[in-house]
């Protein structure tokens, strides 16, 4: 791998990792149960809203506005946060962000920080960097705690321990906790996590969080969560450090009315998640009296420069695309070798790494059957298949080789059990992407200003249609 | 060496050299919606998250508070500094947050009683903004039981209506049911770090 910790050092290319994951039948059972549960729930709560498609279009447009004026909005949030008593830091890359957080934690005179689940800090390998600097980072989200105590890696954006079932979690807790859970009932395991973390919360001096949204106009930061561990971290410590990717902005407070509807229903498949916290700088007498906002680039500006790929920066990390992906369901998240697995990982991780000579990153755009299910559920309408195709072409170009040798043009082995390939009917949606001329000239879904500017060549790879014809018989 | 701020801003300006013009934002989604009786809907949706909801006439709120606390055996109750005196019912000791209660005092209490700023019927959400009868955020976080009083006129239909009523620079907490997790096999269980029991009184 390159210098960007978004992909894990020493991870095998996707096809290799996927083959190993496929052999693990327990893993496949856990994943299948979990992804099907949540996708069915999502369908139900989404169908409750008569204006869902309008919300998606607004969400897409708001995020495109943010991206096309990103410099303006970043300067605006910086001014707003500063005016309300916060301190804004800028970080070019993972190393710089980690140094900032380490320095701030040291200045606060602590050797321990509590953490709210955050993709940005996972992406930059913050915990390891703090550890190396003599500061312990304690994950407080239940799933992150399971991963941390299991000395494991995350496999899902929303539920990083989705690959573990209750009895595996009980074993991890029994091994690692002073007060051991007595059964594998989810209620008892949640109670064990409460006991384990309670004192930490009540005495922590420094907390580190990510951010779901930052409002450019007002400087308000939003964290969406379920367990109350987020509220604990955001409320009780004296110092709060928030690491936020530069693309996480919305222009105005009003814009949140769109995302506070899109995110919970796409993510946990609820009408609303249990807790959403919003704070602006420092409020005297309420919450942390020192607030630091770290604005993180780490490859995002490289993605922004790619006219087709930049739409990946609209992502609000809801994880809906993972839960509907037939490839993810079979391989699990760890096979992607990155904190961002599934369809979004397949387009975001290689762009953040920005080095198609990195074999592992270059194999990720092949981790898809291009069935299109991810695009259909994405609350900000990211055309993931389009970006996959575009990145495959880049990977091929970089290698000067055939896509087969890059990775996995043919996913046939992944779906060897064709009867269980329940998304077969989705194949039609790919056919609609591909014009007979072999160019993707006009995409079937309107609205993407980014992509209508030029023709996108279809990859010189075996198309999914030919793969399908060859493999289904 | 240039500072990180100007480097990142410079990278952004170069990345946007194609001058992508964002289209106007289509705000054709609903900003209000006819939902019938908002009190009924709020009660139903809040209860969906396994919070207990009680609808009572305004004049009966103190009696309802007293009976709920008695039923739980909640004796040491936390309240914000401007908690209405009629809500500080007999039968409980009232720990008022003035001077500020310590975290250990909050942790040792049986529960907290507050009002709210807004409630959203469609999603079953109550929103606290640190305003009238709510206090600072730690009060409704550390005690294991939260009893919240929402007036009927604080209930709106959908999310955009709620945001229009809120002041974004106040510390806000949106609460939809008690603390919960779905991290184990995606089964939802109530009760992790936030208050494990939420009761809402809707005063009509
Ligand atoms: S790409 Fe879309 S569906 Fe996938 S996590 Fe991001 S916002 Fe959600």
User: Tokens 């490859």 label which residue?
Assistant: A299
Gap from CA of A59 to ligand 1 centroid (Å): 12
Beta bridge mates, B125: B120
Measured CA to CA in angstroms, residue B160 lies from A62, A102, A168, B120, B167 at distances of: 15, 39, 42, 10, 13
What is the best residue among A266, A388, A445 to mutate for testing ligand 1's pocket, by most ligand atoms within 8 Å of CB?
A266
pLDDT in tens, A2-27: 468 888 877 888 888 888 777 778 88
The distance of A279 to chain B (nearest Cα, Å) reads 5
Helix (H), strand (E) at residue B76: strand B76-79
Per the CB < 8 A criterion, the answer to whether B38 and B156 are in contact is yes
In chain A, what percentage of residues exceed pLDDT 90? 55
Is A304 in contact with B12 (Cβ distance < 8 A)?
Answer: yes
Residues of chain A with Cβ-Cβ distance to B31 below 8 Å are 257
Average pLDDT estimate for B15-29: 90
Measured CA to CA in angstroms, residue A416 lies from A110, A330, A364, B145 at distances of: 53, 11, 20, 52
Question: Ligand 1, atom 8: nearest CA belongs to which residue?
Answer: A318
Gap from CA of A120 to ligand 1 centroid (Å): 15
The model's confidence at residue B185, banded by pLDDT at 50, 70 and 90, is confident
Q: Which atom of ligand 1 sits closest to the CA of residue A314?
A: 7
Instruction: Check residue B133 and give left, alpha or beta (phi > 0: left; psi -120 to 50: alpha).
Output: left
pLDDT in tens, B125-167: 999 999 999 999 999 999 999 999 999 999 999 999 999 999 9
User: Tokens 């407080």 label which residue?
Assistant: A140
pTM for the model stands at 0.89
Per the CB < 8 A criterion, the answer to whether A189 and A165 are in contact is no
* pLDDT exceeds cutoff 50 at B66: yes
pLDDT in tens, A199-231: 888 989 999 999 999 999 999 999 999 999 999
Average pLDDT estimate for A149-178: 86
DSSP-derived letter for residue A336 is G
Give the C-alpha separation, B196 to A357, whole Å. Answer: 51
Q: Is the CB of A377 under 6 A from ligand 1?
A: yes
The distance of A417 to chain B (nearest Cα, Å) reads 25
Token couple for A394: 């880049």
Least confident of A111-115, A200-204, A229-233, A278-282: A200-204
SS3 A283: strand
* Bigger pLDDT: A426 vs A328: A328
Average pLDDT estimate for B109-129: 98
Q: Residue A24, class by beta-carbon neighbours within 10 Å (0-12 exposed, 13-18 middle, 19+ buried)?
A: middle
Per the CB < 8 A criterion, the answer to whether A154 and A339 are in contact is yes
């Amino acid at each position: 791998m390159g210098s960007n910790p978004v992909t894990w050092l020493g991870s095998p290319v996707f096809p290799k990792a996927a083959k190993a994951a496929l052999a693990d039948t327990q893993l496949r059972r856990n994943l299948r149960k979990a992804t099907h549960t949540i996708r069915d729930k999502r369908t139900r709560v989404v169908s409750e809203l008569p204006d869902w498609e309008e919300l998606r279009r607004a969400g897409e447009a708001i995020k495109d506005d943010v991206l096309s004026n990103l410099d303006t909005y970043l300067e605006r949030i910086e001014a707003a946060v500063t005016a309300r008593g916060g301190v804004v830091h800028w970080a070019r890359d993972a190393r710089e962000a980690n140094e900032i957080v380490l320095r701030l934690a040291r200045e606060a005179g602590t050797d321990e920080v509590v953490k709210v689940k955050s993709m940005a800090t996972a992406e930059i390998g913050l915990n390891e960097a703090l550890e190396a600097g003599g500061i312990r980072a304690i994950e407080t989200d239940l799933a992150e705690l399971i991963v941390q105590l299991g000395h494991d890696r995350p496999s899902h954006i929303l539920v990083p321990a989705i690959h573990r079932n209750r009895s595996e979690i009980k074993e991890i807790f029994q091994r690692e906790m002073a007060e051991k859970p007595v059964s594998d009932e989810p209620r008892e395991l949640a109670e064990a996590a409460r006991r384990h973390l309670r004192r930490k919360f009540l005495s922590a001096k420094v907390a580190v969080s990510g951010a779901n949204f930052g409002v450019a106009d007002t400087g308000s930061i939003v964290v969406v969560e379920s367990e109350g561990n987020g509220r604990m971290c955001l409320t009780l410590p004296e110092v709060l450090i928030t690491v936020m990717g530069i693309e996480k902005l919305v222009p105005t407070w009003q814009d949140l009315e769109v995302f506070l509807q899109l995110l919970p229903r796409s993510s946990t498949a609820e009408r609303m998640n249990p807790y959403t916290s919003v704070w602006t700088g420092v409020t005297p007498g309420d919450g942390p009296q020192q607030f630091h906002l770290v604005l993180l680039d780490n490859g995002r500006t490289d993605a922004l420069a790619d006219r087709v790929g930049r739409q990946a920066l609209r992502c609000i990390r809801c994880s809906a695309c993972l839960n509907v992906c037939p490839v993810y369901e079979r391989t699990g998240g760890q096979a992607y070798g990155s904190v961002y697995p599934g369809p979004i990982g397949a387009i975001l991780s290689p762009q953040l790494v920005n080095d198609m000579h990195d074999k592992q990153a270059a194999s990720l755009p092949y981790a898809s059957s291009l069935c299109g299910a991810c695009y259909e559920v994405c609350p900000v309408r990211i055309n993931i298949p389009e970006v996959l195709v575009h990145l495959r072409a880049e990977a091929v170009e970089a290698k000067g080789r055939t896509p087969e040798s890059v990775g996995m043009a043919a996913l046939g082995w992944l779906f060897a059990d064709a009867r269980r390939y329940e998304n077969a009917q989705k194949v039609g949606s790919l056919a609609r992407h591909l014009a007979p001329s072999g160019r993707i000239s006009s995409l079937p879904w309107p609205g993407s200003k980014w992509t209508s500017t030029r023709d996108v060549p279809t990859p010189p790879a075996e198309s999914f249609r030919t793969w399908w014809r060859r493999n289904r018989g | 060496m240039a500072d990180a701020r100007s480097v990142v801003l410079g990278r952004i300006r170069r990345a946007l050299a194609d001058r992508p013009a964002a289209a106007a934002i289509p705000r054709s989604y609903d900003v209000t919606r006819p939902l019938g009786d908002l009190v009924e809907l709020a009660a139903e949706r809040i209860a969906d998250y396994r919070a207990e909801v009680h609808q009572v006439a305004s004049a009966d709120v103190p009696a309802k508070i007293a009976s709920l606390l008695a039923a739980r055996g909640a004796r040491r109750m936390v309240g914000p500094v401007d908690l209405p005196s009629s809500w500080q019912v007999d039968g409980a000791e009232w720990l008022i947050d003035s001077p500020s209660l310590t975290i250990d005092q909050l942790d040792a209490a049986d529960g907290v009683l507050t009002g709210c700023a807004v409630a959203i019927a469609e999603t079953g959400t109550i929103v606290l903004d640190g305003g009238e009868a709510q206090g600072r955020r730690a009060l409704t976080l550390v005690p294991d039981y939260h009893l919240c009083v929402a007036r009927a006129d604080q209930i709106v239909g959908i999310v955009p209506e709620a945001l229009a009523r809120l002041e974004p620079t106040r510390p806000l907490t949106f609460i939809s049911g008690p603390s919960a997790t779905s991290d184990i096999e995606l089964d939802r269980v109530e009760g992790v770090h936030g208050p494990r029991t939420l009761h809402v009184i809707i005063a009509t």
